[in-house]
Each structure stands twice: as C-alpha cells, then as structure tokens.
Structure 1
C-alpha cells in the first residue's frame, strides 16, 4: 500500500472510531527555514536558504477499556518520498499495545521510543527552544530513536517514575566516526540476535525541579557478518539531565557519555574510525519576557541561549585516526513565541565551531510548529 493511501486509511478509521468515543487522533508538524549565512571553505550553493516542512506527524490511539490501549505515530519527513536514496521517509515511529495494570506497573509491546533523555520521547515543537532540536539530542542520542521490543513502566511513588525496555539491538555494520545514528534498526526487520536493555528513571524532588537518568546497552557481536571477530564488543550509553523552572526562568542541562568495548575490533573489520568513547553536553537558559507586558496571557515569549559541546571521537585507539568535524562546539541564541501553548513560532542564530574547519559556520533558522491531541 502506498504511504499516502495508508495514511488516508488511518484517518478514516480514526474518524469513525473517534465518533464512538474510543479513539483519539492528534499530531504535530514543523516548517523550517535554514540558511548558512557564513560557511568557510564551502561552495556558494551551501549558503542558499531552504524551506523544508521537516515533519508531519499523525497520532492514532485507541482505548479498549480503562487499562488496555493502543498507541501509534506515523511520520512523513520532508513532504514527499521521491526515491530510495532521498532523505524523505514515511516511518512508523510508534505502534504498541499498552497494559496499565496499576500506577506502579504497566507493560508495553511493539515499536516505541527509546527512553534516553527527555527530548527523544517528547519532541513536539512547542516543548523545546530552537528551530532544530539540540545537536546532542541528534548526534549522541539519535533522536528520534525507536525500536521493537517489550517493556515495563510505572510510577513507584509520588515524583518517581521509571521505564525499562528490552529491545532489538544496534546494527554494528553501520557504525562510524559520527556515532550510532546509522546503526538504528527502527523495527524494520530488526536483527534480534543481540538485544539491548534500556531504561530511564525520573525524580521530581520539587515541583519546579525535574531530574532524569537514562542508560542503553547493546552487544555488537551477533547482529553482524563479523560475529566471529567482534567477541566482547558492546555499546553502552549513560545520560543525565536536569530541568529547573522557577517563575519565568527556565534552566536545562544534559550530559551524555557513551563507550564502545573492543572498539579496535570494529575499526579493523569495518575500516571505520570508530571512537572508543563519545561525549557531549549542553546547558540552556530561557526567560519568558511576556508576563511583564501581558501578565494574564496564556502566551509566552521566551528569549534563550544554549551552549553545546559534543565529540564522537572523545577517545581513540589505533588504528583509528581523528576525523575532522567530530569535535564540535555550538552556541545558539534565539526566541520562541507561543501564541497558544500548542503553537510555536521560532527564530535563532547559531555559531558552530567544528574541528578541522578554518572558521565558525553561522546559521539562521526560522520555524513554525504545532501540536494537538
């Protein structure tokens, strides 16, 4: 079935069921304008401004009763699918059965989002500052990261919740010096001889303070034609984050560290300069200035700045060599206007300093996004 026809069927089915009061539909989308205003060493065509309707997403959920439900998410990226080698895609991002036995324990089975960091699970455009998602949440945490498997979740007590999933692992044949983004299998005939364990725990010690800790670990031995020579190879990622909101001031910090056991075996077999470890973090501060002018408005107008550093070759072992562009610093400054809590208009400017580049790349980004459910 063609992707657009499939989406049409989903909408028709959802519409009929919604009338019966058992099914809900929703979605989000975002249009971006990106322009490299200064890109040293790059051809003139790299400074052309581009419009891109980056994401168009539809949610369909169904409650069978008060504890059994189905949730799904279908995404179209870059407006259309032209060919197999284009960046566009129609993807089933989520489709799982949810059994909520009680508040402390629930069970899920299907394709769902990996619980690493807070943006991978909740990335609607009204939930974060900046036109593009933070680079740490794209490079080190390959958002949007999804996989097929099973898992449990719950809230063990007020302010403490968890998720623990057992999912298909990574495809090590696609690992390279840029990290693990290309190793995601995403439930598309996912090889499952090597499974992965991933989880997240969140603490809310104060109403204005949220903290989270995530992990992901996957063997790299069996999901590969090099299984006999990759003995002991494993990828492990650790993440921590803090979000603090007091009045109109918001502060965020995220740190990520990952490591590849027996990386030299992967380097030798794949002929790729894979790092022994990867590291990154970002800190962000935002302030909503609108209450000073419209104290009773539901709107917000947030000025923000964000600094990021990430390195996909944080440590290396021979025969791997350092590759340009793997150690990056980014500074972003911008504004986010929410005329409604679920509608976002954004603008930001970025300075990007990548290893091996003669000077900083500078980018202008504009965007508009929405979310409904």
Structure 2
C-alpha cells in the first residue's frame, strides 16, 4: 500500500515538471497547491488504512482469546468476532428389570449457550435449557435460564462475576455436560445431595495461584424452606432440590455465603472441597422456622494417570432449627430432615482407542441417605442407606459425541434395577 501511494506521488510530480518550465508564477503556485492537496489526501488514505489494519489485528486477538477460552468445552460455532455458540444435549432410554412396562425414552435436556466477549477481560455467559422435550402447563418439561452472568478479569488475575451462575460444589455441578461424566445419568450423590445443576443469583471473586490452587468465594441467594411440601416425596428424592430457587423471584431476605478450594499442583490430580451456608426462613409471615439454616459441604478428588480416571466424593448437608416446622407437619409423609449425606468412588479405564473412537468402561459404587436424621420431635423412620452399583461404558466419537450404556443395581429397592442407554453431545 505504501509503495502504491509513493508511486502516485512521484507520478504527479513528474507530470508537473513540464509545466514548471513554461508556466507563469501564478500558474506554478496553483499547480503546487493542487499537488500538495493531492499528497495530503494520499497521506490521509495511508493513515486510514493503517488504522483499519490495527483494528482488524486487535479483533483477531480478541477472537483468538475467545476461542481459546471456549476450547475447554469442546469445539464451538463462532457467530462473530467476539461471540461463541455452544450446546449440549442428551437422549436416554431406561428399562427396569422387575417391571418392563415402566421402560421409557426421554429427551432429557437440550441446552444452548452463548458467550460474548466485550473485550479481552470482560465476557457474558448465558445458557438456556429445555428438559423432557415438551414444555407446557400440562407437561413435565421445563424451560429455564441455567446461567446468565458477566465476568471481569483484572490485571492481577482476580476474577469478579455477577448474575446467575453455578455454585462451585463437587465435581459435576460446574462440568455437567454428558461428555464430561460416566454413565447415562448423573450420579445420585451429586443430584440427590448436591442438587446439580445448582445455580444461584449472586456475586463471586475467584483466582488461580501459581501453585495450582484455585479459590472462589461469594455471596448469593440460598434456599427457601417455606417451599417444603410434606405431602410430596420430592424432599425424600432430593432435600435441597425441592427447595432451591433457581433465580426465579428468589427470596433474598437471608443471603448465603460459599467458598471452594481446588488444587491442581500435580499433573492429573485434583483435590478440592466446598462449603455453602445460609438461613432459609427469609422472615416469611407465620413461618415457624425463621432461624432454619441450610449448610452443605463436600470433599472430592480426581486422579487421571495414563488411561485411568479415578474419582471419589463425600457430601453432607444439614438443615437446623426445624423442630417447630416439623411439628406442624405431624402425620405427613415427608418431614424436613436434619441431616443427609452421600459418597461415591468411581474407576474408569480407556480400554481401546483408534483415531476418533475411544471405549472406556467404568464402575461406580455410591451410598446415600436423603433423610439420615430428623429433629427430636419427629417420630418417623429415617431414610434407608441406599447403595447403588453402576457398571457400564462410554463410547466416545471424536471430542463431542458419546454413546453410553450401563446397568444399575440397587441394594435397598431392587425394583429400581435398570438397564440404561444414552446418546449425548457437547460443543
């Protein structure tokens, strides 16, 4: 570009030389003024082209940062220089061993995600989810905003986040795409005890240190114990899952605090834990458990040496000061438990890999109790210590598609034994 402009300038100068020899002084000055104006215009065009080139290069740098950030979740579709589209979904089939009439197929979920970078350090993340294929007042499906937050990274590595985001608890809640876990369904401990996918509206700070330690802490909405339905079995299925608020006009008189630590200072090893606590009464009128407090904590580990993938997790929750509330539930089937817990161990091994295909069998043993204890006023049996053994395999096709099959054996309730098949994707 610079060579072209200089050539044009020289051409104008040469074209003017014969005129200098024969023109009057006035004509000469007029020609010189015209040549000066044309050269000034060429300089302006050169400056504009330089600015345009710098802008394109800057946008390319931002785009590269966006693609690099989203690479951890797999290949994504780029909607523009700063915007990335992502998605995941799963279709499952289950056949119960004792009663084949209860077999069912389900489009469990379909999720669309959008990440937009305003600049190198500021981004917006949104995820929209549809569950069970059909959503209406008479169907079991749900439509929900799973995440919606803005995050800013500062020069010292500190990150600040605000909006609706996933609580950093356990191994699965923050990484719950079907390609990220073994088995057709998410494990019971991280759905019944830790209510994955668990999100709250709030604000958090986080950072990753040079020694491999990542920390996150924040203030957020919590649970609403006034939503507890003692006539339903939902509280037995998942105590916290039945009273979470999901950012839907969430009661916020009582806020909660949380914190998480994860250490990755050794290749292939992750050690971590989290805690979440807050009151759940919110000064609700005539509610007999104003001082009830919900606390949930977990410890987890994952180790991936070579072809092995080994993990373990323990989680425990408590709901305090529920004696008066449970007295009002006298005679009903599902009082509020004062404690609940669960743990699992899991081992997977990549048995075979060829080009884009990989076969990884696994076994998982888990034990959980959603009603481990009650307040002294409750005269009902505690929940069973259910143990589930899951044996199966993941068959990965490339980086974004997985076919799954497993068999689950229940110790306490054998009627739930089942064969599961699944298809999932994530990009």
What TM bracket, shorter-length normalisation?
Answer: 0.7 to 0.9
Partners of 1:30 and 1:223 lie apart in 2 by 40
Change (3 A) 1:364 1:223: farther
Contact persistence 1:353–1:360 (CA under 8 A): no
In the TM superposition, what is the alpha-carbon distance from 1:18 to its structure 2 partner?
A: 4.9
User: What's the offset of the Cα at 1:260?
Assistant: 1.6
Q: Does structure 1 retain, via aligned residues, the 8 Å contact 2:371–2:383?
A: no
Give CA deviations for 1:54-112 in whole Å, capped at 9, x if unaligned. Answer: 110001111000111100000011111132x5321110000111111146311111111
Aligned mate of 1:169, from 214, 222, 226? 222
Indicate which of 252, 256, 269 corresponds to 2:315.
256
Separation (CA, whole Å) in 2 of partners of 1:19 and 1:112:
23
Shift of 1:231: 4.3
Corresponding residue for residue 126 of structure 2: 72
SS at match of 1:308: strand
Aligned partner of 1:309 in structure 2 is: 367
CA deviations on 1:278-308 (whole Å, 9 max, x unpaired) are: 11000001111004xx4xx343211111011
**Structure number with higher strand proportion:** 1
State the SS of the aligned residue for 1:138: helix
**Distance in 1, Cα, partners of 2:85 & 2:187:** 28
The runs of 5 or more residues in structure 1 that have no matched partner are 1-16
Find the structure with the greater CA-based Rg. 2
RMSD of the alignment, in Å? 2.0
Q: Is the CA contact (8 Å cut-off) linking 1:171 and 1:224 kept in structure 2?
A: no
Note if 1:336 corresponds to 2:394: yes
Deviations 1:120-170 (A, max 9, x none): 111011110000000111100011111111111111334111221211111
CA distance in 1, matches of 2:249, 2:141: 19
- Residues 1:118 and 2:165 aligned together: no
Q: How does 1:1-373 map to 2 (within 5 A)?
A: 18-38=78-98, 47-83=101-137, 86-102=139-155, 104-175=157-228, 176-178=235-237, 179-222=239-282, 224-227=284-287, 229-271=288-330, 272-291=334-353, 294=354, 297-322=355-380, 326-354=384-412, 357=413, 359=414, 361-372=416-427
Counterparts of 1:123 and 1:155 in 2: how far apart (Å)? 21
The answer on whether the counterparts of 1:241 and 1:255 sit within 8 Å (CA) in structure 2 is yes
TM-score of the aligned structures, taking structure 2 as reference length? 0.76
Cα–Cα, structure 1 residues 200 and 225, in superposed 2: closer, same or farther, change >3 Å? Answer: same
SS in 2 for 1:276: strand
Structure 2 gap segments, 5+ residues each:
1-76, 229-234
Q: Is the 8 A contact 1:110 1:148 kept in 2?
A: yes
